[in-house]
Structure 1
Amino acid sequence: MPSATPWQSVTYTGENYGLYLQDQMKFGDGWILTLGGRQDWVNGKSVGYDLYAADPVIDASSDDEKFTYRAGLTYLFANGVAPYASYATSFLPQSGVDAFGDVMEPTTGEQVEAGVKFQPVGWNAMFTAAVFQLTKQNVPTPYGEDPFGPMVQDGEVRSRGVELQATLSISGWNLNASYTYNDVVVTEANPEVPNSSLALGKHPRWVPEHMGSIWLDYTFATGKLAGLNLGGGVRHVGTTYADALNEIANDPYTLVDAVIRYDLSKMWPKMKGVELAVNATNLLGTEYVTCFSAADCKWGAERTVIGTLTYRW
């Protein structure tokens, strides 16, 4: 039997200051230019003790600053079509220390995105399509088999993909649909982490390549069923991996949800603002399992039905 890991308590204290400026300019015949910048200052200190030491076993400080920016250009056609392109950088401080007791480095990133938005004239609808590439450096990831244990940081992780989304409201019908293809791979190893090069070209843990959902509901406006809302939808999550080497795969799963709502004021005018609803998630009781490591797997949420009575004023 392996020896138990000694108990350890780590306390992190830190301060974060930032200044942000953004300007949106319209010029020419339909051009929109958005520019933004942010300066961050972050300092932190991690102090850790274990059961057997009077003095701290971890005593690490960090002091970081970073300027990030974004730029976007959109052209708005008269028919509601709006192609756009954008570039942005990011900075996200990380608290605490890694598995080796070293201060966690801030996560930085760059994103390039291009796409088109379409809002048909006279319609309550929006359709969007976009392609993107996002690269992040110093991305936290579990070290070893314990998914909730000490962390390390990958050298670089790259995401490339497509996002599609549609929303539509017409004659009592409401539609929301989305799909994401997200190809995420480790593109640079961290030379300070043993065996990190083995993860090159692999997918990070628990990140699905395919995700999609569709939801449709209808509200009766007239007749004996006025105030009744019926809705249903489907959610899909693609294959994910529970380990850095992608040897443990979680199967994809698809779940069905549904809802029934009723505005009680349609029957009793004095109950304006009162709504009765019954929500069901995983309506069909689909069984699925998610593994976080070779020794840690959990059943997905079972069928859940919740009734609510809401009053808004």
Structure 2
Amino acid sequence: MSDETYTLKTEDSLLTYSAQAVVKVLDSLTVLAGASYSGTDYERESSDLGPASFDYNGEVSYRGGLTYEFLPGLNGYVSYSESFMPQRRRDVNGTPLKPLIGEQKEVGVKFAPPGGRSLFTAALFEITQSNKPEFDQTTPLGDAYKAVGEVRHRGAELEAIGRVADRWEVHAGYAYLDAEVTRNPEAPEMVGATITYLPKHTASIFTTYEVLEGFSVGVGARYVAAVNTTYDDSIKDLPAYTIVDATASYALRNWRFQLNVHNLFDEKYYINTYETVYYGNVIGEPANVSVSARYEF
């Protein structure tokens, strides 16, 4: 066993300026425009790697959007935004990965029927990211990562929130995600591969009912589709799972007492919190109960 000790001291800073404006051009048309500037620098002292200093060029990011009211309560929108985020994860040399740069495009509709009892939304989106981190190996200085050249996420989201009746509320949602590698000069064979640890389908539904004045019960389910754990399918997927939760609450004056039951049927499922098979997968939370009391002043 080696007694050699490694030390690593880092210091990084991020400076951001931003501005945004929302202008109502017409009674039914609203325009959003904004920009931000971010710059970062990094210094390292290491007994093993030696000192180093990195000053990444600053980046200007833009965002904009249009919202149009077609009918009372029915709005359509389009949006575009850019992002620039320095990364704390480092490569095998102790150097931080290049900043994560993103671009998002989205189009959707929102409908709130007159009376304010419900809200329905639908959206299509595309997100492109450069320098997405991926676990590489473990080193004496900690885990090391490498950047995937460029990844793209395309998908759709549906959501419905509302009161079915005076005492009955429902919240339902569904999301579809198609995520793949679109560019990787260091590993061209990865292009077209599905990004790991991202489920293609997720869905949820939760409903609550007020049985008596102040006393409500609820039940719901969450579905997560299977996810792949490697780009080349050399290791089996994490299987899909469905979890059922339940709740009961009672409100009395300024007090609210609540009982939550998670994983009601004790479903056995697996998750990965490190986004790598190096550390393995873990079993999700078994059936458990929590009780809380809250007082509002």
**Same fold at TM > 0.5:** yes
SS in 2 for 1:243: coil
Unaligned runs of 5+ in 2: none
1:125-157 deviation line (CA, Å, top 9, x unaligned): 2111011111000111111599x8311100000
Relative to structure 1, the CA distance from residue 190 to residue 94 in structure 2 (aligned partners, 3 Å threshold; closer, same or farther) is farther
CA RMSD, Structure 1 to Structure 2 (Å):
2.2
Structure 2: distance between partners of 1:110 and 1:279 = 38
Q: How far 1:61 moved relative to its partner?
A: 2.3
Contact 2:108 2:121 in 1 (8 A): yes
User: Are 1:303 and 2:291 an aligned pair?
Assistant: no
Relative to structure 1, the CA distance from residue 85 to residue 156 in structure 2 (aligned partners, 3 Å threshold; closer, same or farther) is same
User: Are 1:273 and 2:254 an aligned pair?
Assistant: yes
Structure 2: distance between partners of 1:175 and 1:11 = 51
Unaligned runs of 5+ in 1: 51-55, 266-271
Q: Which amino acid aligns with 2:133?
A: P
- Equivalent positions of 1:59-98 (< 5 A) are 59-98=52-91
Q: Which amino acid aligns with 1:71?
A: G
Question: What TM-score do you get using the length of structure 1 for normalisation?
Answer: 0.85
Match of 1:243 among 220, 230, 244: 230
1:72-105 deviation line (CA, Å, top 9, x unaligned): 0111133311111111111111125312444310
Structure 2: distance between partners of 1:99 and 1:198 = 22
Structure 2: distance between partners of 1:10 and 1:185 = 34
1:202-235 deviation line (CA, Å, top 9, x unaligned): 2222111111111110124xxxx32111011111
SS in 2 for 1:198: helix
Total equivalences in the alignment? 289
Structure 2: distance between partners of 1:96 and 1:289 = 25
Q: Which amino acid aligns with 1:67?
A: V
Q: Which amino acid aligns with 2:219?
A: G
Q: How far 1:25 moved relative to its partner?
A: 1.0
Q: How far 1:289 moved relative to its partner?
A: 2.1
Structure 2: distance between partners of 1:129 and 1:96 = 35
Matched residue, 2:173: 178
Structure 1: distance between partners of 2:279 and 2:47 = 28
Relative to structure 1, the CA distance from residue 205 to residue 60 in structure 2 (aligned partners, 3 Å threshold; closer, same or farther) is farther
Contact 1:262 1:276 in 2 (8 A): yes
Sequence identity (%): 29
Matched residue, 1:290: 271
User: Are 1:154 and 2:145 an aligned pair?
Assistant: no
